[in-house]
Structure 1
Amino acid sequence: MATRKVLSELKEKIRGFLPNIKIKSIEFEGPNLVVYVEDPKQLLGSGDIIKKLAKDLRKRIIVRADPKSRKPPGEAEEIIKQVVPEEAKITSIFFDEENGEVIIEAEKPGIVIGKRGKTLREIIIETGWSPRVVRTPPIRSKTIEDIRNFLLSVREERKEILKKVGERIHRGTIYKDKWVRITFLGGSREVGRSCYLLQTPESKIMIDCGVNVSNLNQTPYLYVPEVTPLDSIDAVVVTHAHLDHCGLIPILYKYGYKGPIYLTQPTRDLMVLLQLDFIDVAVKEGGVTPYESQHIREALKHTITLDYGVVTDIAPDVRLTFYNAGHILGSAIAHFHIGEGLYNVAFTGDFKFERTRLFDKAETNFPRLEALVMEATYGGSEDFQPSRKEAEEKLIEVINKTVSRGGKVLIPAFAVGRSQEVMIVLEEAIREKKIPEVPVYLDGMIYEATAIHTAYPEYLNAHLRDLIFHQGVNPFISESFVRVDSASKRDEVINDKSPAVIIATSGMLNGGPVMEYFKALAPDEKNTLVFVGYQAEGTLGRRIQKGWKEVPFPSNGKREVVYVNMEVVTVDGFSGHSDRRQLINYVKSLSSKPEKVLTVHGDEGKCIELASAIYKTFRIETRAPMNLETVRLL
């Protein structure tokens, strides 16, 4: 009843504000208020009016042509092909009926847009669809295409889901009490299974829900009273796509959650890719999967993607804004504005406070910030990493040394983030002849994850975008990179005696194709194993890093011993996490100084040491909460 009243009042205001536009209907669709107009021409030039209206009403407002005024997709596609000049080289036209958009992929998007948007206007008038033009990615992503097709196939169901989400968001507030608290369900004084519950008298918001990659039996504490029943949660927010933050999202739908997931578009695509691989690897290794592919699809059905900087209602008293975290593609700092100026809290997720080969450094400019929940992966007093330049020079040195003795370099890497960073360094080093032209083999999901990176150039840093769009150099599609996409190709790489670099998943040597390479290459002292990312306690990677020379290795249901004679090198500086200096500098650089800082996502000692250092440096109240602890912020 409260929702209907809110909608009725909003309709009245909008009709009064837009008296000359023929409005067909106004509906809540998820966090958006969607205004459907009868005549597509009325979409033209309405941008400024809608921005003013959205600001006045403090709602996300989208104007679309009424579905009945749109041409059928087949007919609309023919019109678009006639309207857009051939030299634009359109490669794909996809109709997003949910949003009333036609996504046009072209090699020359500027020609599709036309002079001062002339061609776009013509498309709107002739078809009734709102065009969105994107540059054709140089590598096609099967994941993105599958996600598009799946969401298209469930569009009617999605409409109902979004309608219910909209009703729940706008249900109105009930309680006069004002408090804010966080329950720590995982990822506190540990790395893995990140999961937090933000609560007010009105709302429950879950931030992340990950697996512990070193112990899959350890899951977040989803059975505690604060969380149950799962459908009492208003929203789930995912900061980024690494499994220790999103690996157990589908289990929520398996056990009764029916609400939305908020995340960036690249995070959505990478999350699906990694979750499908997660259960696939578990099945191949004879393990038990915590959920099935149907639960991944159910979660995908409930996703709502947001861009950086867009303020969105996600509960009656909570607004969410994502900011760049600089960690991996689409990674976000989640900023929550609670009540009407009552309280503001941000969760950094994993973040990098340094410009990298891929991303700009993490955002520090927030309108207001009373509390900060931040990672402490490298928060220890001795956790200082070398500069990125030093790290790159050391990697090049190690590769040259190994190649000169006829060996192979094996780099275990996460499919998302570290792999692409290393690829860009190697591409430049080969192009500038700093290392010989050896093949760089990509195995596991690295190639597909890279394809997703090429689909979202707007999330990459300005230098990389300039390199790709204006200088015609795309490091991701260098001829030096060779995709390994079959077991026979993998055997061929292993048996080939010539030098090579192999980048393979997983990054901590706890499964995936890297295991086969390691088993084959470890006994030969000519070869080198290079760690470029964090190795969690309990993983095979950490054991080897500590100097184990004989490691137990699973093989065909049995355990055998692998002798590690290969050189083992750790190249610090490539991490997507901030080191101790960057963590402290991040707090120092915040535009709005928080009253409280809570440190998570680090070994116990590192969380405590970072909290202590922040208190001593800035005299800010700090805590290193434990799992199952609830901290009241207000």
Structure 2
Amino acid sequence: MRRRPSFRPEPEQEFAVAHARSRARLEPLAAGALARVAFLGAAGEVTGSCFLVETPRARVLVDCGMFQGGRAQAARNWSPFEFDPASIDAVLLTHAHIDHCGLLPRLVAEGFRGRIHASRATADVTRVMLEDSARIQQQDAQRATRKRREHGRGQQPIEPLYTVDDAERACERLRAESFEAWFEPVAGLRARLRYASHILGAGSFELAFDAEGRERRINCSGDIGRYDEPLLRGPDSPDPAELVLMEATYGDRDHRSMPDTLREFEAILNAADEARANAVVPIFALGRAQEVLYHLGALERAGRVRPRPVFLDSPMAINVTELYRRHGDCLEERLRRELATSDGALSTQQLSFTRSSEESIRINGVRGAVILSASGMCEAGRILHHLKHNLGRPGTQVVMAGFQAAGTLGRALVDGARRVRVLGAEIEVAARVHTLGGFSAHAGQSGLLSWLRPQTVARPLVALVHAEPEKRAALAAKIAALHGLSCATPERGESL
């Protein structure tokens, strides 16, 4: 029989904020303390998700992600961990986006020897994501070494953040868990995955442990997906808890409705068609690539857009797309039935998968096509070549289908930059740039509130994470107005 937690009236009085902003390693949990959560990333910002949860008997990380958003953010990935990796008992991985899993190879290389617990789909996708990330690290290091030598700044090779071998060793520590089933990542701590939508395999974690003679609960949302997501089953709300770590990426607004988004997408594609120009879509290989493919195919089949060449120019996105059939438990029921008989739901009439760099280069001579290429924030990958060749062409339509972090090329384009630097070249932006917020993998404000609502019966303290400051402030005000709950907005290095 599942035990239900008993709650004290105002648990927010039991979680005191401890300010510890230094890069020094965290002190051990104080004697007599019930628990501590340290916010080591995605606190007051969107990337670098990493939370250290400590109880008297356990020390676990929820996620261990990379910082993204330009050179300054990338440099933070080299900073020392605020803890000894060997002291961590286990990692609970909510999903396979790089800002949630991207530092796992470093963690293992520096001494972590526990298990990395994730859903079955997340475990499979993480292998794809980390191998790709490691190859990028190695290629970037090789390129930087060549430039150093060419400019006479020394012969010493520049080391990558981690290697493919490091990524493989991290993936050896993955352990697949089932949704809805309790498991024990370490003695004295129980955990359970709930569906979070967002991307294939994404989950929220419920944590339960005994303290002072009763069960205590902490919920960690991970990234919460949309309730109207066409490919994945909708998110489930965890059972009530005393402390809820909740993402707030779009805490200040709702997304445009899907019908309106598709009408705008249709108009963009038809404008590109009329100009005999390309529509370039920077995609996140995991999630947005598959959703955009789905809607492109649906628009073609409905006769709303003319069939045209579509290039999925991302080996990683191709590999992830092939995983959808394997993990039907994560899919919306109608899509699961369609994929059981054919691949048509995730295809178009003239779809080409371009795995090799030679195939990708040939796209440079194509006009009147849709080009889907990574990375989604335009910081690396083949999308940079496509932007270099298309941004300066009138008639080109650039479609941003996901979140663009501050400091990225994608964010600069969304903010209206008329001149950008791509692969060393200064380019006057003649293309039209569109943002289709309805394709976001994150729930908007209403979806976030729906996810939280069943948990408010416990009068929890809600810690808002994974968001820029103004997004957290807006959601905190809404939660206070609707439920009278306190919301913490921890900064990186702070603890509850």
TM-score of the aligned structures, taking structure 2 as reference length: 0.86
Mapping for residues 237-316 of structure 1, pairs under 5 Å: 237-285=92-140, 286-287=143-144, 288-316=159-187
**Any stretches of 5+ residues in structure 1 without a counterpart?**
1-54, 58-174
The one-character-per-residue Cα deviations of 1:44-74 (angstroms, maximum 9, x if unpaired) are: xxxxxxxxxxx699xxxxxxxxxxxxxxxxx
Is 2:360 the partner of 1:495? no
Alignment of 1:483-562 (within 5 A): 483-497=353-367, 499-554=368-423, 559-562=424-427
Match of 2:81 among 223, 229, 250: 223
What letter is aligned with 2:193?
F
Over 3 Å counting, the alpha-carbon distance change for 1:602 and 1:551 in structure 2 is: same
Alignment pair present for 1:387 and 2:257: yes
Counterpart contact for 2:197–2:225, Cα < 8 Å: yes
Task: Using the TM superposition, give the Cα deviation of residue 276 of structure 1 relative to its aligned residue in structure 2, in angstroms.
Answer: 1.6
Supply the distance in 1 between the matched residues of 2:241 and 2:80 (Cα, whole angstroms).
Answer: 28
| Cα shift at 1:473 | 6.3
SS at match of 1:298: helix
CA contact (8 A) 2:137 2:163 kept: no
Match of 2:219 in 1: 346
What is the number of equivalent residue pairs in this alignment? 448
Of 457, 460, 465, which residue of structure 1 is paired with 2:331?
Answer: 460
Alpha carbons 1:266, 1:456 under 8 Å: kept: yes
What is the aligned counterpart of 1:319 among 190, 194, 197? 190
**CA–CA distance in structure 1, aligned partners of residues 226 and 433 of structure 2:** 28
Mapped pair 1:450 → 2:450: no
Residue 389 of structure 1 deviates from its aligned partner by 2.0
Instruction: Say whether the 8 Å CA contact 1:505–1:513 is kept in structure 2.
Output: yes
How far is 1:587 from its partner? Answer: 1.7
For 1:421, the aligned partner's letter is E
Which amino acid letter does the alignment assign opposite residue 258 of structure 1?
R
Greater Cα shift, 237-246 or 609-618? 609-618
Shift of the 612–266 alpha-carbon distance from structure 1 to 2, 3 Å rule, reads same
Whether the 8 Å contact between 1:191 and 1:377 is mirrored in structure 2 is: yes
Secondary structure of 1:216's counterpart equals helix
Report what 2:52 is aligned to.
197
Query: Letter of the aligned partner of 1:363 in structure 2?
Result: D
Change (3 A) 1:318 1:526: same
Q: Does 1:405 align with 2:297?
A: no
Structure 1 letter corresponding to 2:231: L
Q: Secondary structure at the residue paired with 2:269?
A: helix
Does structure 1 retain, via aligned residues, the 8 Å contact 2:325–2:339?
no
The Cα offsets for residues 536-556 of structure 1, whole Å up to 9 and x where unpaired, read as 0000000111111111222xx
Q: Could you tell me which amino acid in structure 1 is paired with residue 357 of structure 2? A: A
**Residue 295 of structure 1, CA deviation:** 1.6
Relative contact order, CA 8 A, sep 6+: which one is greater?
2
Deviation at 1:609, TM superposition (A): 2.6
Match of 1:595 among 453, 456, 460: 460
CA shift, 1:475, in A, is: 1.4
* Aligned residue type for 2:288: R
Give the Å deviation of 1:479: 4.1
Question: Equivalent residue for 1:576?
Answer: 441
| Superposition deviation, residue 222 in structure 1 | 5.1
Conservation of the 8 A alpha-carbon contact between 1:240 and 1:328: yes
| Cα root mean square deviation, aligned | 2.1
**TM-score (norm: length of structure 1):** 0.68
Structure with bigger gyration radius: 1
Q: Residue in 1 aligned with 2:152?
A: none
2 CA distance for matches of 1:187 and 1:356? 24
**Contact 1:209/1:249, CA 8 A, preserved across alignment:** yes
Output the CA distance in 1 between the equivalents of 2:350 and 2:299: 11
